[in-house]
Amino acid sequence: MATPPENARAFELLRDEALACTACRLSEGRTQVVFGMGDPAAELMFVGEGPGAEEDRQGLPFVGRSGKLLDRLMAEEMGLTRESAYIANVVKCRPPDNRDPKPDEIAACRPWLERQVELIAPRVVVTLGNFSSRLLLGTDVGITKLRGRAYRYGDTVLVPTLHPAAVLRGGGTAMANMRADLVRAKTVLQGGVVDLTDAGMVAR
Ligand code: SF4
């Protein structure tokens, strides 16, 4: 789904605006805003949690061990590189000591992510872990219950999966689950039929 030129311009303006954001306390400890990276006309978008130390230093998302795993699984299961997708996070600034983002920080940062999704207009959004999956699906159900399905998210299909950091900790089963979720996302990208679930129907 190509992004029209006016969307590309709007995306650049959005990025410039976000890079100066001080809407929550996370602005105080960051080195820089990690807005996102990849193709703003991508059909596939990944949404993680927030920048870590290396991401904060480089200004890019998923550049550490988690990012390497994401790159590998994307290549092995989807035949794609990160340059052909777009990668962003729920919060754009690093939480101190890599703590979880707080609800008010997530709420403050949410408009940036929603506008990114709106302008990129991907066919598939893959949410990585609890924070992005719960936020975009509007549920407090955990990722282990949410994953394994595909959901309607506006005009987009949302496929939740584990955060790569959890897969690094979790071993074989977690890895197999993430691989299966990426195959599900690829099926949607290729126009295949998947059942779409209503997040409100998934029991806690
Ligand atoms: Fe702004 Fe988001 Fe950074 Fe908070 S985390 S300062 S809302 S860009």
pLDDT tens digit string along 71-116? 999 999 999 999 999 999 999 999 999 899 999 999 999 999 999 9
Cβ contacts of 97 within 8 Å, gap of 6 or more: none
CA of 50, closest atom in ligand 1: 5
Torsion, CA 140, CA 143, CA 149, CA 151, rounded to 10: 40
pTM exceeding 0.75: yes
Cα of 127 vs centre of ligand 1, distance in Å, is: 19
Q: What is the pLDDT of residues 19-75, one digit of tens each?
A: 999 999 999 999 999 999 999 999 999 999 999 999 999 999 999 999 999 999 999
- How many other CB atoms sit within 10 Å of the CB of residue 119? 21
> Is 23 touching ligand 1 by the criterion CB < 6 Å?
yes
> Where does the pLDDT of residue 3 fall: very low under 50, low under 70, confident under 90, or very high at 90 and above?
low
Please, what is the average pLDDT of the chain? 95
Cβ contacts of 162 within 8 Å, gap of 6 or more: 128, 129, 143, 147, 170, 174, 177, 178, 181
